[in-house]
Amino acid sequence: MPTAAPDNPASAALPASPEELKQVLEAVLLSAREPLSLPELRKVFADEVATDVLRLLLEELRREWQGRPLELLPVASGWRFRTRAEFMPYLERLHPEKPPRYSRAVLETLAIIAYRQAGGGGGRQGDRAGRHRRDGRRGGGG
Protein backbone atom coordinates (compact mmCIF):
# COMPACT_ATOMS: atom_id res chain seq x y z
CA MET A 1 0.00 0.00 0.00
CA PRO A 2 1.47 3.40 -0.95
CA THR A 3 2.53 5.64 1.87
CA ALA A 4 1.87 9.36 2.13
CA ALA A 5 4.11 11.53 0.00
CA PRO A 6 7.00 13.09 1.91
CA ASP A 7 7.03 16.85 2.49
CA ASN A 8 10.35 17.13 0.69
CA PRO A 9 10.38 15.15 -2.59
CA ALA A 10 14.19 15.16 -2.64
CA SER A 11 14.20 13.13 0.58
CA ALA A 12 11.95 10.36 -0.77
CA ALA A 13 13.43 6.96 0.00
CA LEU A 14 14.53 4.79 -2.90
CA PRO A 15 11.98 2.00 -3.52
CA ALA A 16 13.15 -1.26 -2.00
CA SER A 17 12.09 -3.77 -4.65
CA PRO A 18 12.18 -3.94 -8.45
CA GLU A 19 8.37 -4.05 -8.41
CA GLU A 20 8.25 -0.74 -6.52
CA LEU A 21 10.80 0.75 -8.93
CA LYS A 22 8.54 -0.26 -11.83
CA GLN A 23 5.53 1.32 -10.10
CA VAL A 24 7.41 4.60 -9.73
CA LEU A 25 8.50 4.46 -13.39
CA GLU A 26 4.93 3.75 -14.44
CA ALA A 27 3.55 6.69 -12.41
CA VAL A 28 6.21 9.08 -13.72
CA LEU A 29 5.78 8.03 -17.36
CA LEU A 30 1.97 8.11 -17.23
CA SER A 31 2.00 11.64 -15.83
CA ALA A 32 4.70 13.01 -18.17
CA ARG A 33 3.62 15.28 -21.02
CA GLU A 34 6.75 14.53 -23.05
CA PRO A 35 8.92 11.44 -23.49
CA LEU A 36 11.44 10.96 -20.70
CA SER A 37 15.05 10.03 -21.45
CA LEU A 38 17.03 7.55 -19.36
CA PRO A 39 19.04 10.37 -17.69
CA GLU A 40 15.76 12.07 -16.73
CA LEU A 41 14.41 8.81 -15.35
CA ARG A 42 17.62 8.28 -13.38
CA LYS A 43 17.05 11.68 -11.72
CA VAL A 44 13.75 10.37 -10.38
CA PHE A 45 15.80 7.88 -8.36
CA ALA A 46 18.52 10.42 -7.45
CA ASP A 47 20.88 8.67 -9.93
CA GLU A 48 20.99 5.63 -7.62
CA VAL A 49 19.52 3.21 -10.17
CA ALA A 50 21.84 2.16 -12.99
CA THR A 51 20.84 2.83 -16.59
CA ASP A 52 20.99 -0.91 -17.39
CA VAL A 53 18.56 -1.64 -14.55
CA LEU A 54 16.21 1.08 -15.81
CA ARG A 55 16.31 -0.42 -19.32
CA LEU A 56 15.38 -3.85 -17.95
CA LEU A 57 12.54 -2.41 -15.87
CA LEU A 58 11.24 -0.41 -18.84
CA GLU A 59 11.26 -3.51 -21.04
CA GLU A 60 9.37 -5.43 -18.33
CA LEU A 61 6.80 -2.62 -18.12
CA ARG A 62 6.53 -2.62 -21.89
CA ARG A 63 5.73 -6.35 -21.90
CA GLU A 64 3.21 -5.94 -19.06
CA TRP A 65 1.33 -3.25 -21.00
CA GLN A 66 1.14 -5.26 -24.25
CA GLY A 67 -2.43 -5.81 -25.40
CA ARG A 68 -3.79 -2.91 -23.32
CA PRO A 69 -5.17 0.37 -24.73
CA LEU A 70 -1.94 2.17 -23.82
CA GLU A 71 1.51 0.99 -24.82
CA LEU A 72 4.94 1.93 -23.51
CA LEU A 73 7.29 2.82 -26.35
CA PRO A 74 10.88 3.93 -26.74
CA VAL A 75 10.97 6.99 -29.01
CA ALA A 76 13.86 9.14 -30.21
CA SER A 77 13.76 11.40 -27.16
CA GLY A 78 13.04 8.79 -24.50
CA TRP A 79 10.18 6.60 -23.27
CA ARG A 80 6.48 7.40 -23.32
CA PHE A 81 3.04 5.89 -23.00
CA ARG A 82 0.87 6.23 -26.10
CA THR A 83 -2.66 5.23 -27.01
CA ARG A 84 -2.67 2.31 -29.42
CA ALA A 85 -3.74 3.11 -32.99
CA GLU A 86 -6.95 1.06 -32.90
CA PHE A 87 -8.31 3.26 -30.09
CA MET A 88 -7.60 6.60 -31.80
CA PRO A 89 -11.02 6.89 -33.54
CA TYR A 90 -12.67 6.94 -30.10
CA LEU A 91 -10.35 9.65 -28.83
CA GLU A 92 -10.93 11.69 -31.98
CA ARG A 93 -14.67 11.68 -31.21
CA LEU A 94 -13.91 13.13 -27.81
CA HIS A 95 -11.41 15.68 -29.15
CA PRO A 96 -12.19 16.25 -32.84
CA GLU A 97 -9.41 17.90 -34.79
CA LYS A 98 -10.49 21.31 -35.99
CA PRO A 99 -9.17 22.77 -39.23
CA PRO A 100 -6.73 25.61 -38.62
CA ARG A 101 -8.18 29.11 -38.59
CA TYR A 102 -6.08 31.76 -40.28
CA SER A 103 -6.23 35.46 -39.55
CA ARG A 104 -7.12 37.94 -42.27
CA ALA A 105 -3.50 39.15 -42.36
CA VAL A 106 -2.19 35.62 -42.99
CA LEU A 107 -4.73 35.02 -45.75
CA GLU A 108 -3.84 38.34 -47.41
CA THR A 109 -0.13 37.49 -47.26
CA LEU A 110 -0.73 34.08 -48.83
CA ALA A 111 -2.87 35.68 -51.56
CA ILE A 112 -0.06 38.14 -52.40
CA ILE A 113 2.51 35.34 -52.56
CA ALA A 114 0.28 33.23 -54.82
CA TYR A 115 -0.43 36.23 -57.08
CA ARG A 116 3.25 37.06 -57.48
CA GLN A 117 4.21 33.47 -58.23
CA ALA A 118 1.48 33.08 -60.84
CA GLY A 119 2.26 36.29 -62.72
CA GLY A 120 6.03 36.39 -62.50
CA GLY A 121 6.84 34.24 -65.52
CA GLY A 122 8.57 31.64 -63.39
CA GLY A 123 12.15 32.94 -63.66
CA ARG A 124 14.26 30.56 -65.76
CA GLN A 125 11.26 28.64 -66.98
CA GLY A 126 9.79 31.89 -68.33
CA ASP A 127 13.07 32.59 -70.16
CA ARG A 128 12.93 29.19 -71.85
CA ALA A 129 9.31 29.72 -72.87
CA GLY A 130 10.28 33.06 -74.46
CA ARG A 131 13.19 31.46 -76.33
CA HIS A 132 10.88 28.77 -77.77
CA ARG A 133 8.48 31.44 -79.00
CA ARG A 134 11.32 33.32 -80.72
CA ASP A 135 12.68 30.13 -82.30
CA GLY A 136 9.21 29.17 -83.52
CA ARG A 137 8.69 32.53 -85.22
CA ARG A 138 11.98 32.23 -87.09
CA GLY A 139 11.15 28.73 -88.20
CA GLY A 140 14.26 27.32 -86.55
CA GLY A 141 14.21 23.94 -84.93
CA GLY A 142 16.52 24.60 -82.14
Q: Please, what is the angle between helix 51-64 and helix 18-31, to 10°? A: 70
> For the chain, what percent of residues have pLDDT higher than 90?
58
Confidence (pTM): 0.60
Res 14: pLDDT: 77
DSSP 8-class letter at 87: G
Q: Evaluate if residue 63 carries a pLDDT over 70.
A: yes
pLDDT tens readout for residues 68-96: 999 999 999 999 999 999 999 998 898 88
Q: Please check whether residue 73 is in contact with residue 59, taking contact to mean a CB–CB distance below 8 angstroms.
A: no
Q: Place 128 in a pLDDT band, splitting at 50, 70 and 90.
A: low
Res 100: pLDDT: 84
Res 95: pLDDT: 83
Q: Please check whether residue 82 is in contact with residue 47, taking contact to mean a CB–CB distance below 8 angstroms.
A: no
Q: 14-94 is classed in which CATH architecture?
A: Orthogonal Bundle (1.10)
Q: Within 13 Å of residue 57, how many CA atoms lie on the same side as its CB?
A: 20
pLDDT tens readout for residues 46-58: 999 999 999 999 9
Average pLDDT, integer, range 127-141: 57
Average pLDDT, integer, range 27-47: 95
Average pLDDT across the chain, whole number: 83
